[in-house]
Amino acid sequence: MQASPRPDYPFTAIRGMPRMQTALLLAAIDPLIGGVLIEGPRGSAKTTSARALAQLLPEGAFVNLPLGCGEEQLLGSLDLEDVLQHGRTRFRPGLLARAHEGVLYVDEVNLLADGLVDLLLDVSVSGVNRVERDGISHAHEARFVLVGTMNPEEGTLRPQLLDRFGLFVRLGETIPPQMREEIVRARLAFEADPEGFVGHHDPAQQALRERILRARAALEALAFTDAVHARVSRMCHEAGVEGVRADLVMLRAARAHAALEGQDRIREEDMDAVQDLVLAHRRKASTDTDPAGMESGSAGTGDEHGSGHAPPPPQGGGAPENGPKDAPGDRSGDDAGDWGALPPEAAPLHTLSRVGELTPKKP
**Contacts by residues 285-294 (CB-CB < 8 Å, ≥ 24 positions apart):** 285/309, 285/310, 286/240, 287/238, 287/239, 287/240, 288/312, 291/315, 293/19, 293/168, 293/169, 293/170, 294/170, 294/172
245 given a catalytic annotation = yes
87 Cβ contact list (under 8 Å, min separation 6): none
Q: Which residue, 176, 161, 169, 63, is CA-closest to 116? A: 161
Residue in 98, 216, 245, 331 annotated catalytic? 245
Question: Nearest-CA neighbor of 58 among 186, 145, 182, 179?
Answer: 145
Which helix (H) or strand (E) element contains residue 141?
Answer: strand 136-141
Between the alpha carbon of residue 332 and those of residues 144, 224, 282, the distances in Å are: 21, 39, 32
Q: Catalytic site residues?
A: 245
